[in-house]
């Protein structure tokens, strides 16, 4: 994918795909969907890691445009992928703070000696790898793949406390749901 935005039309909407620029590890592409007639504000979604595929962009855009229930979920912030996105961003900020407190050489600096630069690079690689694992866990926890049969929907809807990841530290606002 080039760095140039790419647009296509779907049933009266314009989809624009371009590289993500916020700088959060794992961000790959950002898709913006807006009505062609300008009757509503644009909606944006960032695709991370393995979600960044042409098939995923096309499927999301098509579902957003053609499924009013799904579009309403997205606009209200209640689509399962949005829970993953919110929690990933929270965990990335928390983990960044932990790494900074762990070793100040985690922060980029032009004044790093070659030895300290090597430590910085090792810490940054560890941070990115940890974020990837967190993202995968969140994705499977909050946006599980479709069930293969109808017999295990009740089983899939709850996770026993002892099976919950320690990465699932709830924020105060999520405790009420």
Rounded to whole angstroms, the Cα distance separating 57 from 30 reads 9
* Ranges of each domain in the chain: 6-76, 79-143
Check if the beta carbon of residue 87 is closer than 8 Å to that of residue 138.
yes
Could you please report the per-residue DSSP string of 79-133?
A: SHHHHHHHHHHHHHHHHHHHHHHH-GGGS--TT--HHHHHHHHHHHHHHHHHHHH
Tell me the per-residue pLDDT of 98-132, one tens digit each, with 9 for 90 and over.
999 999 889 887 688 889 889 999 999 999 999 99
Segment 39-64 mean pLDDT: 93
Residue 3 has what pLDDT?
74
* pTM of the model as a whole: 0.73
> What is the pLDDT confidence band of residue 175, given thresholds at 50, 70 and 90?
very low
């Amino acid at each position: 994918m080039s760095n140039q935005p790419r647009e296509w039309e779907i049933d009266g909407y314009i989809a624009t795909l371009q590289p993500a620029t916020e700088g959060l590890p794992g961000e790959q592409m950002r898709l913006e969907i807006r009505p062609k007639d300008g009757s509503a504000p644009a909606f944006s979604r960032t695709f991370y890691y393995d979600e960044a595929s042409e098939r995923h962009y096309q499927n999301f855009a098509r579902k957003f445009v053609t499924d009013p229930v799904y579009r309403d979920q997205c606009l209200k912030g209640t689509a399962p992928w949005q829970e993953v996105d919110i929690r990933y961003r929270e965990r990335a900020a928390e983990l960044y703070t932990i790494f900074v407190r762990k070793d100040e050489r985690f922060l980029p600096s032009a004044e790093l000696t070659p030895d300290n630069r090597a430590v910085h690079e090792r810490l940054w690689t560890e941070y990115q790898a940890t974020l990837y694992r967190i993202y995968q866990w969140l994705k499977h926890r909050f946006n599980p793949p479709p069930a293969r049969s109808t017999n295990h929907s009740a089983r899939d809807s709850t996770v026993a406390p002892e099976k919950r990841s320690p990465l699932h530290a709830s924020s105060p606002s999520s405790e009420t749901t």
